[in-house]
Amino acid sequence: MTTKEEHAIILDFLPNGYPFDQRPLHKKTPIAQALGKETLVLLELVPKKDVFLQPYEEVYIGESKREKIHHILGRINPSKLTETARAELGFVINDLVLKSQAKFISFINNAGPITTRRHQLELLPGIGKKHLLEILEARDHAPFKDFADLHSRVKLLPDPEKIIVRRILQELEGNEKYYLFVRP
């Protein structure tokens, strides 16, 4: 079952459309580049007439009546992001990871093996066999409560929020074999 995105966070708003669009100004449509809040997909949105959107603004894009968004053009490739959207993406993801800490800690507490030689946690940047064994041993004693608990109980582990943010950014590029957080 695939969940439909209900909310998105604006990364960049282009009131006059894309600069490379060769059409006359009166035929261009405003475009917003956004990140889906739940499935973490990059989206291209068309706002309603005379609506001005701000970066970091959360907008409703679900099935019922939308206040600010006219329609969703679709998913967008990370290479098509504007410089502003690219710059804001890391901050927006970091903010979402901190606000959804329970979701990511639950993943760490419940992650299992992918194959007989590979574990889901090893897909996170900076986690090798040694950190994996320490995490598994620590979570066997008691599940982790939050990022601070994980960081304090697993010695020399890099910052857990940054590890997850880096993995999400890697998945958004679309070159991964396994997806943990982003809907492919």
Q: Tell me which residue range forms the domain holding 167.
A: 100-173
Residue 2 belongs to some domain of the structure: no
Collect the ranges in the chain with pLDDT lower than 50.
1
Domain count, the chain: 2
Residue 21 has which token pair? 């669009």
Q: CATH code at 131?
A: 1.10.150.280
Residue 179 belongs to some domain of the structure: no
Residue 55 belongs to some domain of the structure: yes
Residue 145 belongs to some domain of the structure: yes
66 shares its domain with 109: no
45 shares its domain with 106: no
The reported pLDDT for the residue numbered 1 is 38
The reported pLDDT for the residue numbered 18 is 85
The Cα 111–Cα 4 span in angstroms is: 24
Cα maximum dimension of the chain: 65
Residue 184 belongs to some domain of the structure: no
11 shares its domain with 68: yes
Residue 64 belongs to some domain of the structure: yes
The reported pLDDT for the residue numbered 19 is 81
